[in-house]
């Protein structure tokens, strides 16, 4: 569960940084539009990029009659524009060479990319945080309202469903027979990142929900703190 706790901060932090960049680029675009003028332009040629497609080169005239030629910042494949196509242009009044085609991706490509990826990371961080929160609530409930039983030690195994830095965590497995009905339950500990084998007693303390013994928490306080980290 410590892995989820780390991941919620990593994914959440990366998400916030990317969302911050999305807002930064969006704000830059909005400021550019506020100080810009509109014009009609024409695609005079396409600049081809082997890996990214083609960028349109656009010519337009400012309101003062100055002819400006600029190359779009966005390349696409297949080309989004064709030679001779008439396009709407926005340009900075104080610096007409700072011009763009008036289109969503021409203006908002970076905010869209960073915002989309950032949202995914932030939501994943929230999900990891939710899993951690539910686990802590469940553990607290079992410690406060559960019943403590003692399971017989069975084995230490690797949790091959989890892998961090090319390592699998360990889990302690215990077995308990319910004296009320003779039913056998297998209890599994949380992930442990150091081999706990030499510290394990014959009987393992486990907190269970008496109404549903499958809901359990193995009490690992018998392990040294250096092993539980």
Q: For tokens 């700072």, what's the residue? A: 98
pLDDT tens track, the chain, 229 positions? 566 677 888 999 999 999 999 999 999 999 999 999 999 999 999 998 767 789 999 999 999 999 999 999 898 888 889 999 999 999 999 999 999 999 999 999 999 999 999 999 999 999 989 988 998 999 999 999 999 999 999 999 999 998 888 889 999 999 999 998 999 999 999 999 999 999 999 999 999 999 999 999 999 999 987 665 5
Give me the residue spans of the domains in the chain.
2-112, 146-228
In contact, 124 and 76? CB cutoff 8 Å: no
What's the rounded Cα separation, in Å, for the pair 103 and 180?
72
Tokens of 54: 């083609």
What's the pTM? 0.71
CB crowding 73-93: b at 16 or more within 10 Å, else e = ebbeeebbbeeeeebebbbee
Q: Of 187, 183, 182, 181, nearest to 149 (Cα)? A: 187
- Give all strands (DSSP E) within 67-211, no chain letters: 67-71, 86-92, 99-101, 147-158, 170-177, 184-188, 203-209
pLDDT value of residue 169: 92
List C-alpha distances in Å: 196 to 49, 152, 186, 221: 57, 16, 18, 12
In contact, 88 and 101? CB cutoff 8 Å: yes
SS3 102: coil
Tokens of 38: 């509109």
Q: Which CATH class is domain 2-112?
A: mainly beta
Tokens of 195: 């081999």
């Amino acid at each position: 569960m410590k892995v989820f706790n780390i991941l919620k901060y990593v994914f959440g932090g990366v998400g916030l940084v990317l969302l911050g960049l999305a807002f930064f680029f969006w704000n830059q675009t909005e400021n550019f539009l506020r100080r810009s003028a509109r014009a009609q332009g024409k695609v005079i040629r396409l600049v081809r990029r082997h890996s990214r497609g083609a960028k349109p080169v656009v010519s337009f005239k400012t309101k003062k009659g100055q002819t400006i030629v600029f190359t779009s910042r966005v390349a696409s494949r297949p080309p989004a524009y064709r030679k001779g196509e008439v396009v709407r242009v926005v340009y900075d009044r104080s610096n007409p060479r700072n011009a763009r085609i008036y289109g969503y991706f021409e203006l908002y490509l970076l905010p869209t990319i960073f915002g989309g990826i950032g949202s995914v990371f932030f939501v994943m961080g929230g999900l990891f945080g939710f899993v951690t929160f539910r686990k802590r609530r469940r553990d607290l409930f079992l410690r406060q309202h559960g019943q403590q039983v003692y399971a017989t030690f069975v084995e230490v195994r690797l949790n091959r469903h989890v892998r961090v830095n090319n390592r699998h965590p360990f889990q302690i497995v215990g077995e308990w027979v319910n004296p009320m009905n003779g039913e056998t339950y297998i209890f599994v500990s949380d992930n442990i990142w150091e081999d706990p084998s030499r510290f394990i007693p014959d009987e393992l303390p486990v907190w269970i929900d008496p109404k549903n013994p499958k809901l359990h928490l193995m009490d690992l306080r018998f392990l040294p703190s250096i092993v539980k980290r």
